[in-house]
Each structure stands twice: as structure tokens, then as C-alpha cells.
Amino acid sequence: MHDSDSIGIVTPQRIHFDTPLSLESGAVLDSYEQVYETYGELNAARSNAVLVCHALSGNHHVAGVYADNPKNIGWWNNMIGPDKPIDTRKFFVVGVNNIGGCHGSTGPASINKKMGKHYGADFPVVTTIDWAKTYVRLADKLGIDQFAAVVGGSLGGMSAMQLALDAPERVRHAVVIAAAAKLTAQNIAFNDVARQAIITDPDFHGGDFYSHGTIPRRGLRLARMLGHITYLSNDSMAEKFGRELRTDSLSFNFDVEFQIESYLRYQGDKFADQFDANTYLLMTKALDYFDPARDYDDDLSAAFHCAKANFLVLSFSSDWRFSPERSRSIVKALLDNKLNVSYAEIPSRHGHDSFLMKDEHYHQLVRAYMNKIST
């Protein structure tokens, strides 16, 4: 299963934070656990740390494998490792699971010790602003004054941007991939359909499905099926599935007729078994709320006035979820602030999911940028 240049076995770590965390919503999280992984070695100057932020369904397991489950390979294993574009011989890479998540950090499926039961619907809405605060706290614990780089794709790219805005002294470079400065009405619309699918599933029980011994499988499955459509491009779907039938002839019923239906239903089923529905809701809301220009009269250039980092911004030609145009608006705002920005629009047929894929051009760009970062 491993690439020859894989990190190999990695182990998640956990820190308990008991200083209350004030959230953007006004709610306060009295304490929380943050799960993370690290790869490579922090250098003596503590200047080579790279934070990797995850997207909607990602987590802290960014690269390598687990000793007890060698099939569980990190979601960005093609990008991070020895001699890979983010080279763990040079960098000390930190992967983190956002609070609100469902892979170890405190989230809706965690036990609320005050209540003696799962947080469920009581878990507060969290935003990229809240996560940026947790990244700073984690950096403090790890003795990292400044990240050499903060890197992420999609919601992870937005989280990286947020940290660069909110803690400019803590970020030397920000690598923002397949992201946008805010969601469009259409982006929000897709998110809301996904949320409504979950929330109206009778097994959701207002978010407290844990205590009912159920999961809102139907809703989560639909949400994931829908999500998948937006992650792929029209062209890549056409190439991969076309109108191929599952069997030789048309069956004229509501079973799977075309391969694309089979694929989507399979993806939906698999996801519904693995992911927490409340976390799905929270992550889509974090996307909706991300909007650094909100407090600046919708002026993104004004919103970036505090930023100090150097930026690499990357977009993919076939990404219709967060199109290249959206990345260019980020680049413009950065240039308006006379920040150092490198930008590339990468030709790709794989849509939004391109940021997760191994593409020579894409990986060379990241590699070249990361190589020139001094540590």
C-alpha cells in the first residue's frame, strides 16, 4: 500500500485545552481536546513547521499509515512525505482535526462532561475564526512561534487564509488551494440542501440521534451524493462514467441503471457509515460563514490589510465549485496590499477534487514553492 517514499507509520496525538474558548457565535467551549499528527522533525530554530488544514470531510490523518490499520492512508499522502512536494525531510508537518470534527477532536459526538451525554445539537456552531484560534493555541503548545507555512485546499484553504488574517505574525507563507474568499449563493444552496437532507431525516432526532441509537443515514448519504457531484467536473464524470449502463440492457425501473448512479450511491453509503452527521452540518456552516470581507463592507482588499504572509494561490480550470475566478479575486486583494503572491491556474479535468490528486504540474508547483521557503 505504501509509496516507497511514504512516511510510514504515524501516530495521532492529543492535547487537552482547559482554557475556555470564546467562539464567534458568542458561545464558549469550556475545554476541548485537539487531535493532531506530526511528521518530520521540528528544527532547533522551530522555524520549519507546516500546518495542514483539512477540508469538509478531512481530518488530522494527512499522511502515512496507522500501525494497526495499514490501509488507513492519510488523505494527502501523495503531497506530504520524504521527497514529496511538502517534504518531511525539510519540514515538520502538523495535521490537525478541527474542533467540531468527528475524528478525535471535541465535536458533537464527544461526551459533554457537564451534561454526561453527547453534545449532539448542543455543540456550538464553529467557524474558521474559531479554528484559527485553536491553531494558535496548538502552535503555542508545540513551541511554534511562526509556521513556515499554513497549507490547505477547499475549506482547508479558507482556514489557512483565516489564520494568515487573524494571526499574521504566526504565518510566514500561506498556500491556499481550490478555495474562495466566500461562498456564492449557489454554494450555500448546495450546502443547505445537504443540511436539510440530514436535518429532516427522521433518524436525526434534532441532532441527538446518539441517544436514540440511530444515525441519520439517509440524509447523510444524500448529502454526500450531492457533494460528490460538486467535487467532480462535468467532463470528468462524463469520461469516467458517461452513460454506461450497469447491465447490458435497460431495466426500466428505479434500481441502478447507469454506472454513475452506482458510484454515487456507493460513495453515499460508505460515507454515511463513517462520518458524523452533526459534524457534516457544522463543516458546511463553517463554509457558509467564511467571509473575511464581511466586516469590511465586502471589500476583500481592505480585509487583507493586516496580512503579512507570502501567498501561493492555486486553482483548477475545471473546478466549478470554487472556480479559478474566485481564486483570482483573492490574488487581487493580496496584490492590492502589496503582498507577495504566486498564482497558478492548473489545467485539470478533475474538478474541485483536483486538489487531492496527484498531478505532475500541480505537485511541481507546490514543490517549487515549498523548496524556496527558508527555514
Binding mask 205-234 for a copy of itself (x = CB under 8 A): -------------x--xx--xx-xx--x-x
Give yes or no for residue 265 binding a copy of itself (CB under 8 A): yes
DSSP notation for 154-186 = THHHHHHHHHHHH-GGGBSEEEEES--SS--HH
> Which residues on neighbouring strands pair with residue 28, listed in sequence order?
22
List the interface residues with a copy of itself, window 279-298 (CB under 8 A): 281, 285, 288-289, 291
**Would residue 205 show up in a list of annotated catalytic residues for this protein?**
no
List the interface residues with a copy of itself, window 122-151 (CB under 8 A): 124-125
Kindly indicate which of the ranges 3-11, 44-52, 102-110, 193-201 contains the residues binding a copy of itself, using the contact rule CB under 8 A: 193-201
Joined grid coordinates for residue 277: 452527521
CB-based contacts of 284, cutoff 8 Å, min separation 6: 56, 191, 194, 195
b/e for 49-61, b at 16 or more Cβ within 10 A?
bbbbbbbbbbbbb
**Would residue 262 show up in a list of annotated catalytic residues for this protein?**
no
For residue 198, CA distances in Å to 48, 203, 228, 240, 373 come to: 41, 9, 16, 28, 43
**Would residue 192 show up in a list of annotated catalytic residues for this protein?**
no
Query: Which residue lies nearer to a copy of itself by CB, 54 or 182?
Result: 182
Q: Which of 68, 185, 297, 338 touches a copy of itself by CB under 8 A? A: 185
Kindly indicate which of the ranges 143-151, 157-165, 194-202, 353-361 contains the residues binding a copy of itself, using the contact rule CB under 8 A: 194-202
CB-based contacts of 223, cutoff 8 Å, min separation 6: 194, 195, 197, 198, 280
Looking at residue 92, its amino acid is F
Q: Which of 22, 31, 196, 214 touches a copy of itself by CB under 8 A? A: 196
- How far is residue 337's CA from residue 96's CA, in Å, rounded to a whole number? 29
Query: Which residue lies nearer to a copy of itself by CB, 5 or 298?
Result: 298
Cα 66 from chain centroid (whole Å):
20
Q: Which of 2, 46, 205, 240 touches a copy of itself by CB under 8 A? A: 240
CB-based contacts of 144, cutoff 8 Å, min separation 6: 42, 46, 49, 94
Give yes or no for residue 192 binding a copy of itself (CB under 8 A): yes
Looking at residue 297, its amino acid is D
Catalytic residue among 54, 118, 173, 352: 352
Binding mask 17-56 for a copy of itself (x = CB under 8 A): -------xxxx-----------------------------
Kindly give the pairing relationship between strand 21-22 and strand 86-87: unpaired
Alpha helix (H) residue ranges in 241-323: 259-274, 277-289, 300-303
Joined grid coordinates for residue 186: 449557489
Give yes or no for residue 264 binding a copy of itself (CB under 8 A): yes
Interface with a copy of itself: number of residues (CB under 8 A): 54
Query: Which residue lies nearer to a copy of itself by CB, 129 or 139?
Result: 129
Kindly indicate which of the ranges 38-46, 156-164, 177-185, 301-309 contains the residues binding a copy of itself, using the contact rule CB under 8 A: 177-185
The residues that are catalytic are 154, 319, 352
The footprint of a copy of itself (CB under 8 A) covers 24-27, 124-125, 182-186, 188-190, 192-193, 195-197, 199-202, 218, 221-222, 225-226, 228-229, 232, 234, 237-238, 240-243, 250, 252-254, 257-258, 260-261, 264-265, 268, 281, 285, 288-289, 291
